């Protein structure tokens, strides 16, 4: 596939998914051979004022910030200011000992403290943007220390045994960076990471963001398809508070691909980069198989035959993906001002194209996504005696029959999806009920319990 046709396919895919999920704006940049080879904005950074998104548009990058925090920890370890084996109690006024064992810095880096997510970020973000009912006033490290009092009783594993994504752990890492460096977290990142990477416009505060003209308005995308102007959760910091553009993130990616050096300046050692990219603990979610967490990065060991290092991010009103393939020297950064179609899927779609592959055939999650869209629709029994809708609800389908007075709604859970047949199941009377879709001769048929139905058009609900 030629470069021009690959870019055309990528752009078509992005616009299709933005339209379907009502995303206001999106920016993307691709890196290859140490250079930005493609950068573009799609849609609006500000819908009401008709302002377009550009490659320079600033968005919240959410949990991609965690890789910056991990990089800062690696720098401090190189300088002897800390060791990854240090217990966190060496730096923090907190006793956190799941099953009586000390949590160490490396456990926070890999989300393996043994403590499941305490949902502080979820509560704070949703409250700030007006989508939540539980107010959690955590505005400082001291507030977080108070919040974590007694959290060890919530533990499900000993440190190092099991992955539990823990935003709170990365907040603590920000506190450790301050204690070990003698600088505020934001100040440390500015001096030691952002400025050396020429990321001058990247920032954390509302004051710094509002100095910039090309910035994205954050939007809440409602369940009925409306866009509500909102705000960034500025109380979030070392776990997800950085605001940046795809072009500045491209500098960040180029530094990793160049093993710690950017424009001739050493930011971190090649050994530290390799340490960050090492798979250390299995994660419970699967994209291509055998994903694991390193230090601040997710590692996919076999992404179409290559190691992919990546992270996604979301603060509800803004989403992100950054990923790179070290042995091919390529990378991608994608940002959007809302929670619509998965930017991870878009980023991986772009990387697959850069590898010369067809993402529609070679990425299992894209095939799955397409299949669910194809199966959704209105179905009828023989001569239209009964009509039902099969509706997509995220990553499952729902079988819906609605009359004037009654309704029947059944979730359909996917088991196996092939080119000619897709098997789902539901539960009825406490027992598993198999449901089969057949795709043949341009038709889609559904076998549900005693019924055979044929797809006749789009769903009406």
CATH superfamily of 3-362: DD-peptidase/beta-lactamase superfamily (3.40.710.10)
pLDDT of residue 132 exceeding 80, the answer is no
pLDDT of residue 260 exceeding 80, the answer is yes
Q: Domains of the chain: which residue ranges?
A: 3-362, 369-457
Give the model's confidence band at 286: pLDDT under 50 very low, under 70 low, under 90 confident, else very high.
confident
The pLDDT of residue 2 is: 58
Secondary structure (3-state) at 361: helix
pLDDT of residue 461 exceeding 90, the answer is no
The pLDDT of residue 429 is: 86
Query: Rounded to two decimals, what is the model's pTM?
Result: 0.95
C-beta separation of 377 from 444 below 8 A: yes
pLDDT of residue 131 exceeding 80, the answer is no
Could you tell me the two tokens for 169?
Answer: 């752990």
Q: What is the pLDDT of residues 389-400, one digit of tens each?
A: 999 999 999 999
Secondary structure (3-state) at 297: coil
Q: What is the pLDDT of residues 365-391, one digit of tens each?
A: 999 999 999 999 999 999 999 999 999
CA dihedral 32, 200, 66, 96 (to 10 degrees): 160
The pLDDT of residue 289 is: 85
What is the spatial distance between Cα 291 and Cα 280, in angstroms, rounded to a whole number? 10
CA-based end-to-end distance of the chain:
39
Q: How many CB atoms lie within 10 A of CB 384?
A: 9
Query: Mean pLDDT across the chain, nearest whole number?
Result: 95
CATH superfamily of 369-457: Pab87 octamerisation domain (2.40.128.210)
C-beta separation of 364 from 395 below 8 A: no
Phi, psi (rounded to 5 degrees) for 173: -65, -35
pLDDT over 90 percentage in the chain: 88
The pLDDT of residue 460 is: 82
Q: Which residues touch 215 (CB under 8 Å, ≥6 apart)?
A: 45, 57, 58, 209, 243
Q: What is the pLDDT of residues 206-232, one digit of tens each?
A: 999 999 999 999 999 998 889 999 999
CA-to-CA separations, 434 to 118, 419, 449, in angstroms, rounded: 36, 18, 8
Contacts of 146-150 with CB under 8 Å at 24 or more apart are 147/118, 147/120, 148/94, 148/96, 148/118, 148/172, 149/94
DSSP assigned state of 115: P
Residues of the chain by 3-state class (helix, strand, coil), percent to 5: 30, 30, 40
Any alpha helices (H) in 182-287, and if so which ranges?
185-189, 206-209, 246-257, 270-276
Residue 334: exposure state from Cβ atoms within 10 A (0-12, 13-18, ≥19): buried
The pLDDT of residue 401 is: 93
What is the spatial distance between Cα 347 and Cα 251, in angstroms, rounded to a whole number? 17
The pLDDT of residue 392 is: 95
């Amino acid at each position: 596939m030629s470069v021009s046709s690959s870019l055309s396919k990528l752009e078509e895919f992005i616009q299709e998914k933005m339209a379907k999920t009502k995303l206001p704006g999106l920016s993307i940049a691709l890196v290859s051979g140490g250079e930005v080879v493609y950068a573009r904005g799609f849609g609006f950074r500000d819908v009401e004022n008709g302002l377009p998104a550009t490659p320079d548009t600033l968005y919240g990058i959410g949990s991609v910030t965690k890789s910056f925090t991990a990089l800062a920890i690696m720098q401090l370890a190189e300088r002897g200011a800390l060791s990854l084996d240090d217990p966190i109690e060496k730096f923090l006024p907190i006793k956190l000992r799941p099953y009586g064992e000390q949590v160490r810095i490396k456990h926070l880096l890999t989300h393996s403290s043994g403590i499941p997510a305490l949902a502080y970020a979820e509560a704070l973000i949703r409250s700030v943007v007006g989508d939540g009912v539980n107010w959690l006033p955590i505005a400082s490290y001291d507030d977080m220390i108070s919040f974590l009092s007694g959290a060890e009783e919530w533990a499900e594993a000993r440190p190092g045994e099991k992955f539990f994504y823990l935003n709170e752990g990365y907040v603590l890492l920000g506190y450790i960076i301050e204690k070990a460096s003698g600088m505020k977290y934001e100040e440390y990142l500015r001096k030691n990471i952002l400025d050396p990477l020429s990321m001058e416009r990247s920032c954390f505060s509302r004051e710094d963001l509002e100095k910039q003209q090309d910035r994205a308005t954050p939007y809440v995308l409602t369940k009925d398809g409306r866009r509500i102007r909102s705000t960034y959760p500025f109380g979030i910091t070392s776990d997800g508070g950085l605001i940046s553009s795809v072009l500045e993130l491209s500098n960040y990616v180029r530094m990793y691909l160049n093993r710690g050096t950017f424009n001739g300046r050493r930011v971190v050692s090649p050994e530290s980069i390799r340490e960050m990219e090492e798979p250390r603990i299995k994660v419970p979610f699967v994209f291509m198989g055998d994903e694991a967490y390193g230090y601040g990065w997710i590692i996919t060991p076999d992404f179409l035959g290559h190691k992919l290092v990546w992270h996604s991010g979301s603060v509800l009103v803004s989403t992100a993906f950054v990923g790179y393939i070290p042995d091919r020297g390529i990378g991608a950064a994608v940002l959007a001002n809302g929670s619509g179609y998965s930017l991870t899927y878009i980023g991986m779609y772009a990387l697959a194209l850069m590898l010369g592959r067809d993402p529609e055939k070679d990425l299992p999650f894209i095939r799955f996504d397409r299949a669910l869209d194809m199966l959704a629709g209105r179905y009828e029994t023989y001569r239209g005696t009964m009509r039902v809708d099969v509706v997509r609800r995220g990553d499952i389908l729902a079988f819906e029959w609605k009359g004037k007075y009654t309704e029947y709604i059944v979730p359909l859970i996917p088991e196996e999806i092939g080119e000619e047949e897709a098997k789902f199941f539901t539960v009825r009377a406490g027992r598993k009920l198999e449901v089969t879709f057949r795709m043949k001769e341009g038709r889609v048929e559904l076998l549900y319990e005693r019924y055979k139905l044929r797809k006749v058009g789009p769903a009406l609900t």
